[in-house]
């Protein structure tokens, strides 16, 4: 089951995970990448506005995955996907297609490009943040 959850609930889940990388230690620090990357890709700056929303994926009423997204106008940016169960991330990513948007932006490291391609994303560009390679992804919604 997928439903909207509070940021407090989402970040409590993230803190409890042992397999997260350093990018996911602090959501507010992670979120600032939108401002940093806006120097290269100006279309991302608008997604820093507002708080965004959180989706939670539940397995037998236990939270096993969280996903943050922010809709601005006709566009959506998603990221900060953390899961403790295989398959939860794909289900959360596919759920976003049920929301109303025209263009979906996201970023990932090289390691997650194939995962995002399964969700329909293509690579738009590549840059570096603090010596880490970052790929900008996008997908268009077909109505």
pLDDT in tens, the chain (143 residues): 999 999 999 999 999 987 566 767 789 888 999 999 999 999 999 999 989 999 999 999 999 999 999 999 999 999 999 999 999 999 999 999 899 899 999 999 999 999 999 999 999 999 998 888 999 999 998 76
Which alpha helices (H) appear in 7-138, and where do they start and end? 7-16, 27-31, 33-37, 88-95, 113-118
Residue 92 lies in a domain: yes
Q: What is the pLDDT of residue 19?
A: 59
Burial class of residue 115, CB neighbours in 10 A (0-12, 13-18, 19+): middle
Residue 106 lies in a domain: no
Residue range(s) defining the domain that contains residue 39: 2-99
Residue 83 lies in a domain: yes
Q: How many structural domains compose the chain?
A: 1
Residue 73 lies in a domain: yes
Residue 86 lies in a domain: yes
Q: Which helix (H) or strand (E) holds 112?
A: none
Q: What is the pLDDT of residue 132?
A: 87
């Amino acid at each position: 089951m997928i439903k909207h959850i509070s940021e407090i609930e989402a970040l409590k889940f993230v803190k409890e995970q042992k397999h997260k990388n350093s990018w996911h230690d602090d959501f507010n620090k992670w979120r600032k990448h939108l401002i940093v990357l806006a120097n290269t890709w100006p279309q991302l700056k608008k997604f820093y506005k507002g708080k965004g929303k959180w989706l939670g994926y539940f397995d037998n009423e236990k939270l096993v995955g969280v996903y943050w997204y922010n809709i601005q106008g006709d566009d959506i940016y998603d990221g900060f996907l953390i899961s403790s169960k295989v398959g939860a991330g794909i289900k959360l990513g596919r759920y976003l297609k049920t929301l109303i948007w025209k263009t979906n932006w996201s970023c990932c490291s090289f390691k997650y490009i194939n995962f995002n391609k399964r969700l329909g994303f293509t690579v738009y560009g590549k840059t570096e943040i603090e010596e880490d390679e970052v790929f900008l992804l996008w997908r268009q919604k077909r109505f």
